[in-house]
Amino acid sequence: MSVVGIRLTGVSGEEGRAAEDRYADLVDQMTAIHGVDPPNGGRGFGRTALRFHGKIFAMLVRGHLVLKLPAARVGELVTAGEGTHFDANKGTPMREWLSLAPDSGHDWPALAQEALTFAHANRRSG
């Protein structure tokens, strides 16, 4: 399966294609897991999102992988200079959302698995 209908805005050229390809590979891996739904395309927030039982846990935004992780884990990664808080272009950093640059050396599937585990735990507790 490939990511159909995802167009990166604000990212062009090789960097945009590389991020899109990297994310398409991630989507293929994650959607093999029961309960994980692929991006539905469309318009607006979440159009590139991977969802677990309807809850977004990973998405591609302007070429950055954005993941929902525990606030403490996001804080660790941000403090270590490994990413930034995602702010959805509203100027307010979201404490449970991490944004990774397209050239991040992080293992996207491993971090996506952390995000899925967090989504799974949140589904059971609430």
CATH number where 54 lies? 3.90.1150
Q: What's the pTM?
A: 0.86
Q: By the 8 A CB rule, do 1 and 38 touch?
A: yes
Residue 62, in any domain of the structure? yes
The confidence band for 4, taking pLDDT boundaries of 50, 70 and 90, is very low
**pLDDT tens profile 87-113:** 877 778 889 999 998 888 889 999 999
In a domain, 7, yes or no: no
Please give the tally of structural domains in the chain. 1
Q: pLDDT tens for residues 59-87?
A: 999 899 999 999 999 999 999 999 999 98
State which residues form the domain around 44: 13-125
